[in-house]
Chain A
Amino acid sequence: MFKMTRELVQILGIDPDRLSLEWVSSAEGTRFAEIARSFTEKIKTLGPSTLKKAA
């Protein structure tokens, strides 16, 4: 399903790097925080999405 979604967003013209899938168990709080932090950083680096509202 994730691979399919990546392909679909690419056709829609959305950078597939804006999509991420990670599995984190309830015992891995630190890892969850790390992933959330690094993905937030990545999205900030990528800048605003082209997905603006149509005029």
Chain B
Amino acid sequence: MNAIPELIDLTRTYYCLDCGVCTGSCPVARVFPDFSPRQIIERSLYGLEQISDDTIWNCLTCAQCSVRCPASIDFPEFIRLIRGKAHAGGIDGTLTHNGMLQSIWAIQTRDIAQQRTFWIEDGKTVDRGDMFYFVGCRPYFDVIFRDIGAGSLDWARNVLKILNGCGIEPVISNDERCCGHDALWNGDEETFKKLAGMNLDIIRDSGAKRVVFSCPEGYYTFKNIYPKYFGELGFEPIHILDLLAEKISEGAVQFTESEKVVTYQDPCRLGRLSGIYDAPRNILKALPGVELVEMPRSRENAVCCGTTGWMNCSSCSKEIQMQRLNEAESTGAGTLVTACPKCQIHFRCAKSAFDLGIEIDDLYDLVAERIK
């Protein structure tokens, strides 16, 4: 059965104006002309697209097309729904890292006793309290991406240091699960719902009224996707960049001076999908000695880091990453600052594969090492 007509109605894809802005904007289409959002929509409207079509797994869901679409068609959502039908029919994308990440989140849907908070060391946390820090997948990334020097747990330690520096002692739980973002975008809605339901129980049991995120995907998923499936959350998801920018403007945090010229990568889930553009820039400007130079394509025009959902990483992904790192380097900045663990992993992977001069730093590392 071809379920696409139903999805066209659901997402109102029939409003397509044939203008082609989507394909013209698409970072994948730029390096892989066989992939075209416009053609996928066109073919779907004429009943030619098949849910078994390989191209549905190549979309980065970066929302560059949908923010520019004059008919407000949510192409990533259309793709996600087609992936859902494909997955239900036993068709999946090409999983990266031998499906290791998919296995990890599948195990997390079981009744397990994780040991994922060992990294806290001398950071201050509480068992129950007003604020929950949702760490995200870093404990696992730290192991998997050690060989490319990415995903380090120092990032989580630094986020906790920043929170403590702001006078916040959060709850951090061993029972936290993957937020389900990637399962959802892999078309695996069932696993997403299991993981999300478990996270909601854990957070509600902690008594927290606010949940702080440092991962853009976790923040976006809790804030925008969880309510669609579970209704009222009973707590407020906040992003640490908003929190920190506010604390800095109140003068609650002081920094030491250190010279550095940087450029900034807007993560898709933080920028285009959550509208957080100014907070990271205000934070960088508040660091004495740090100078921010923008890339030609920044804010809502920022280019995706090249791969998503732990699938379909290819030579096209590497081409997108190379182009982006060259763009960063040509600003004259010696460092590209990222605010998303995935961006960091993907760019550091490209940097380790090719001989590139630019450094890739995490915003939280940059901030934490300067806190007085």
Contacts and interface: CB of A to CB of B under 8 A. Distances in A.
Contact of A13 (B109, B115, B140, B144): B115
A4 B111 contact: no
Contacts, number: 44
A54 B109 contact: yes
B143 A50 contact: no
A8 B144 contact: yes
A12 B111 contact: no
Interface in B103-120: 104, 107-116
Given A51-B107, A54-B194, A8 B115 contact: no
Contacts of A50: 111-113
Contacts of A51: 107, 110-112
Nearest to A8: B143
B139 interface: yes
Contacts of B114: 11-13
A11 B143 contact: yes
Interface in B319-335: none
Interface string A16-44: 00000000000000000000000000000
A55 B111 contact: yes
Most A Cβ at <10 Å: residue of B100, B111, B139, B144: B111
B198 interface: yes
A35 B119 CA distance: 35
Contact of B198 (A4, A11, A13, A54): A54
B104 A12 contact: yes
A7 B114 CA distance: 12
Contacts of B113: 13, 50
Contacts of B108: 12
Interface string A44-55: 000000111111
Contacts of B104: 8, 12
Contact of B116 (A11, A53, A54, A55): A11
Contacts of B143: 4, 7-8, 11
A7 B194 CA distance: 24
A11 B111 contact: no
A10 to B, nearest CB: 6
Nearest to B100: A8
A10 B104 CA distance: 12
B140 A8 contact: yes
Interface string B82-119: 00000000000000000010001001111111111000
A13 B139 CA distance: 12
A52 B110 CA distance: 6
Nearest to A3: B143
B115 A11 contact: yes
B354 to A, nearest CB: 24
Nearest to B116: A11
Q: Which of A7, A11, A55 has the most CB of B within 10 A?
A: A11
A55 B139 CA distance: 25
A50 B115 CA distance: 13
A12 B144 contact: no
Nearest to B147: A4
Given A8-B104, A11-B116, A12-B104, A53 B111 contact: yes
A52 B113 CA distance: 11
Contacts of B116: 11
7 contacts: A8-B104, A11-B139, A11-B143, A12-B107, A50-B111, A52-B111, A55-B111
Given A4-B144, A54-B109, 7 more contacts: A4-B143, A12-B114, A51-B107, A52-B110, A53-B110, A53-B111, A54-B111
